[in-house]
Amino acid sequence: MNKNPMIAFLLAFFPGGGLMYLGKVMRGLFYTTVVIGIPALSAAVVFITGFNFFLVFALGGLLMYLINFIDTVMTASKLYNRTGEPDEGAAVEKNPDSERFFTIVLSIIPGLGHLQLGLVYRGITMLAVFLGLGVMILFVTMMTGRSEFLVFLASLPIIWIYGFFDVMQLLDRKSKGETLEDRTVLEDLQNKRPDDRKSKSIATLLSIVPGAGHLYLGLQRRGIQLMAGFLLSIYILDVLRLGIFLFVVPILWFYSFFDGLQKASQYESGEVEDEPVITYLMNHQKWMGIGLIAMGIYYLGTDVFLPMAEPYLQSHYQINVHFIVQSYIQPALICVILIGGGIKLLAGKKTTSNREGEET
């Protein structure tokens, strides 16, 4: 009996349903049991023990759910020959229409569409980058307890869109009779560049992450400053509860991105100089050292000495040190820094005006 691959794909939304429809009953039951059983077992363990850590194992159910889709599509692809009749015993000649359908369906997960086209190296690289980046971001977020790192998940849709259109382009080239070469995206962009020069396209792509494009171009000092400034600004705004200054984060991102585009264009025409973004700090290491010492003393007091003294002060003098620091001392320090910075800017502007008057 003929099996419709579209029906198998739709039934795959229920774990194992598509495989059961294709006649793979035992394999379908396995996916049904695992996808439903792992999250249920994890929830039961959390309910009994109270350890939320076991919820991580529920991600295994999501992973097996995705594998269920992949297995269903690949099995239907093998059973779908030119006439649409399943024949497991004979070699199957690929139908261009069926190959296009399965390639588009598999492209839901980056890299699988490339594997369907026979580009194993390119597909595995794309899949590893997509899954690896997502797992790394979630792991860092869980380890640090800082949800701000989830902002980097915005890079995953960009990778997905690029992978999908890359598959469509390769599929169109294959339909025209061209021979596809199995190489990674970076090798494709870097291919046949004279004198081993850096690729403007790769630098533009890496500029999505602040400072990464500069580091690729060899601008180490400028790239490290931009990357450190972007990440440090997110951390400081969260620790000091300066939500009013969150507009600084997108400003830094846009500045880093367009600066990366400009440096990539300059690199195409000639070598660019690794000029730091903030030259003041490079020429005044003394003030930079004083700032680092002040930050060390501040965190030593708030994270070490105050927690040690808080029980004694609370029991004998009924003083809530943590509340006083969070509500009064910390905002006062921020106000002093802002006022001091404003005075410094005004004094610098006045000095510059006097110098211009004297020159005139």
Domain boundaries, the chain: 1-88, 94-192, 201-277, 307-359
What proportion of the chain, given as a percentage, has pLDDT over 70?
77
Distance of CA 221 to the CA centre of its chain: 23
Q: What is the mean pLDDT of residues 169-191?
A: 77
Q: Quick one: pLDDT at residue 84? A: 47
> Which whole-number Å values give the CA distances from 173 to 95, 128, 168, 169, 360, in the listed order?
16, 24, 9, 6, 67
The structure tokens 């296009």 sit at 100
- ∠ CA 10-114-109, rounded to 5°: 45
Q: Quick one: pLDDT at residue 281? A: 55
Q: Higher model confidence: residue 51 or residue 215?
A: 215
Burial class (CB in 10 A: 0-12, 13-18, 19+), 299: exposed
Cβ-contact 53, 40 below 8 angstroms: no
267 closest CA partner among 216, 192, 205: 216
On the question of pLDDT at 194 being above 70, the answer is no
pLDDT tens track for 97-119: 667 777 777 788 888 888 878 88
Q: DSSP state, 24?
A: -
pLDDT tens track for 148-167: 677 778 878 888 888 888 88
Work out the number of other CB atoms within 10 angstroms of the CB of residue 166. 19
CA-CA distance, 253 to 276, in Å (whole number)?
16
Q: DSSP state, 56?
A: G
Q: Quick one: pLDDT at residue 105? A: 75
Record the tokens describing residue 360, joined without a space. Answer: 């005139």
On the question of pLDDT at 92 being above 50, the answer is no
Helices (H), the chain: 5-11, 17-21, 25-49, 58-79, 96-106, 112-116, 120-144, 155-175, 185-190, 200-206, 212-216, 220-239, 248-269, 279-283, 285-300, 306-317, 321-324, 330-359
Least confident of 76-80, 140-144, 149-153, 189-193: 189-193
pLDDT tens track for 300-342: 887 788 888 888 878 887 788 778 877 787 778 778 877 887 8
- What are residue 20's phi and psi, to 5 degrees? -60, -40
Cβ-contact 236, 242 below 8 angstroms: yes
Q: Quick one: pLDDT at residue 86? A: 44
Cβ-contact 12, 72 below 8 angstroms: yes
On the question of pLDDT at 356 being above 60, the answer is no
Mean pLDDT in the chain? 76
CA-CA distance, 167 to 236, in Å (whole number)?
41
pLDDT tens track for 275-309: 777 765 555 667 677 777 887 887 788 778 888 88
Cβ-contact 203, 260 below 8 angstroms: yes
Q: Quick one: pLDDT at residue 350? A: 56
Q: Quick one: pLDDT at residue 11? A: 83
Q: What is the mean pLDDT of residues 36-48?
A: 79
CA-CA distance, 24 to 15, in Å (whole number)?
13
The 3 state secondary structure assigned to 291-347 is HHHHHHHHHHHHHHHHHHHHHHHHHHHCCCHHHHHHHHHHHHHHHHHHHHHHHHHHH
CA-CA distance, 210 to 233, in Å (whole number)?
12
Q: DSSP state, 178?
A: P
Cβ-contact 5, 69 below 8 angstroms: no
CA-CA distance, 22 to 328, in Å (whole number)?
68
Cβ-contact 237, 243 below 8 angstroms: yes
